[in-house]
Amino acid sequence: MKVMLTNVRLAFFDGYTPVPFEDGAEPKYGVTSLVEKGSENDKKIEAAIKQVATEAWGAKAEMMLKQFRGNPNKFAYIDGDTRSYDGFAGHMALSSKNGKRPTLLLKDKTPSTKEDSTLYSGCYGNVSVDIWAQKKDYPGIRATFLAAQFVQDGDAFTPGAVADPDEFEDLSQQEGGEAEALG
């Protein structure tokens, strides 16, 4: 079931280049959408999950969902309070992947490219996903990343601190050759 999330924060954004989940795995595009608990986006996702589960498992849907919830290997929508990542507290996190490149857009709906890198982990965007139930071989509730549109900047999530140029010494006035300056 296709769901459009509006103005959610993007985390683990791999929309420009596919990345393997683990060594040897097929590289995929992906994003985790951070959704405020109790918001309209949260309600849309929960309704879609209930609908696809009911279509897949009928009367057993509620029991299946209870088994899947909280297990990120079986359920694409997890409680951010159970994760220690920046920005996840107070939110739900919808993880979505796709083997095909998703549509990436700027505010004016023109394509976003790797060169402009407008979309990034930490920005806010509109995200289109397809929520579906996997019935056979590793059953669970999954989400496919279809598209993302940049809405506004946010504090970037980064894997580490950025170096400050003031940490370095100015070597431009140093006498001697390049090898001497380096050695």
Task: Supply the DSSP symbol for 25.
Answer: S
For 130, phi then psi, to 5°, come to -115, 115
Residue 85 in 3-state DSSP?
A: coil
Residue 19 in 3-state DSSP?
A: strand
The domain in which residue 72 lies consists of 2-182
Tokens of 54: 């009911």
Residue 95 in 3-state DSSP?
A: strand
Q: CA 32 to CA 115: how far, in whole Å? A: 22
Q: Are strands 103-105 and 140-152 parallel, antiparallel or unpaired?
A: parallel
Q: How confident is the model at residue 178 (pLDDT cuts 50, 70, 90)?
A: low
- Residue 176 is predicted with a pLDDT of 57
Checking if the pLDDT of 182 tops 60, the result is no
- Residue 181 is predicted with a pLDDT of 46
Q: How confident is the model at residue 172 (pLDDT cuts 50, 70, 90)?
A: confident
149 strand-pairing partners: 105, 126
Checking if the pLDDT of 162 tops 70, the result is no
Tokens of 111: 């394509």
- Residue 171 is predicted with a pLDDT of 79
For 16-55, the pLDDT digits (tens) are: 999 998 888 899 999 999 999 999 999 999 999 999 999 9
| Contacts for 84 with CB less than 8 Å, ≥ 6 apart | none
Positive or negative torsion for Cα 47, 124, 103, 30: negative
Checking if the pLDDT of 76 tops 70, the result is yes
Supply the mean pLDDT for the chain: 91
The per-residue DSSP string of 117-139 comes to --S-TT-EEEEEEEEEEE-SSS-
10 strand-pairing partners: 33
Q: How confident is the model at residue 127 (pLDDT cuts 50, 70, 90)?
A: very high
CATH number at residue 160: 2.40.50.140
Checking if the pLDDT of 143 tops 80, the result is yes
Residue 8 CB coordination number (10 Å): 25
- Residue 24 is predicted with a pLDDT of 87
Q: CA 113 to CA 117: how far, in whole Å? A: 6
For 128-140, the pLDDT digits (tens) are: 999 999 999 999 9
Looking at the structure of the chain, the number of domains it has is: 1
- Residue 23 is predicted with a pLDDT of 87
Q: Give mean pLDDT, residues 110-119.
A: 92
